[in-house]
Amino acid sequence: MDGVLTYIGLKNSQMEELNPLLSMLQPEFVLFLKLLLSGLLYYVIYKKGLKRFGSKLHILLWLVVAIYTGVIILHLFWFIPFLF
């Protein structure tokens, strides 16, 4: 969701990428990279098994989920004025 909303915002000049590494890239490559990393995370969690990595990784993943939930909420606040 973050990758798609970021792509839409960058292509329509509604937002700018704040990550200094990603801000140097074209929006299409940012989307590709975010989808690739999401796929890798899916592979690690569901194909290798979360139990195998222990409780520390479990806590870290919940932290990442919380951060990305905040990012998605920010994206929605940026897009709401453009919807109406």
The 8 Å CB, 24+ separation contacts for 25-32 are: 30/3, 30/6, 31/3, 31/4, 31/6, 31/7
Polymer length in residues for the chain: 84
User: What pLDDT sits at residue 32?
Assistant: 93
Over residues 19-78, the pLDDT tens digits come to 888 888 898 998 999 899 888 877 877 776 666 667 777 788 788 888 888 888 888 887
pTM of the complete model? 0.65
